[in-house]
Amino acid sequence: MRNVLIRVATLATAAAALVAPSAPSAASAAQHLSFRPLSYNTNGYNWGGYAATGSGFTSVSASWTEANATCNSTNDLYAPWVGIDGYGSSSVEQTGVATDCSSGHAVHQAWYEMYPAAPVYLSTSSYPVAAGDRISASVNYTGSNHYALKLVNSSRGWTYSTTKTLSAARTSAEVIIESPTGAYPNFGTLNFTSALVNGQALGNFGPTALDPSNGAYEARTSALSGGTSFSDTYLRE
């Protein structure tokens, strides 16, 4: 992907372990933007959270409560996610929930992405998400370039799993908030818990803390608590 924001014309068809999701709703898929590696963000960066670096990462997972976001503009878009790669590499294997304001109000939609392929948004009717829902996400490398991605909404009783193939470096693992547009809605404070990498506390890997910035800080990432919990707090439009 070029180092500019690109609107993607179509979304790939989801190959899911459960029933394949239907086409994304017009409201929450309108942005059609990829959640990209950190190196592709040229004006500051749009990532907040923690990135562990090294080699041979095989798993990452975390949980959060979906924030009650207030839109500042129709350009606002952000997502909490977990993933492998993306910090210093050109691919990302990731899954989370996007909050899109392109319709004029916050719309939450579960998604996954095997970047550089386009993100795949899950059906909002089959896999609904709302503010206050408890979300758990994981990405696991299972060998032979295969990745198992899983999202669980325990508040609404659904689980989505899919396995995808990608040749990737596996040189980082992340628990992140990101805005592909560079414009965050006011999400207040989002708390990540149970953040694990390779089955161990995220803090065991000496991860790098990231604050989203486009010339001024947009959100602040807290210190790790117990090696597995932290928060991101909205600061500005």
* Sign of CA pseudo-dihedral 26, 84, 163, 62: negative
**What is the C-alpha separation between 196 and 128, in angstroms, rounded?**
25
Question: Cα 81–87–88 angle (5° rounding)?
Answer: 160
Contacts of 13 (CB under 8 A, 6+ apart): 20, 120
Any alpha helices (H) in 11-63, and if so which ranges? Answer: 26-29
178 is known as an active-site residue: yes
Please identify which of the residues 113, 178, 218, 237 carries the catalytic annotation: 178
Prior bond of 116 cis (ω within 30°) = yes
Q: Catalytic site residues?
A: 178
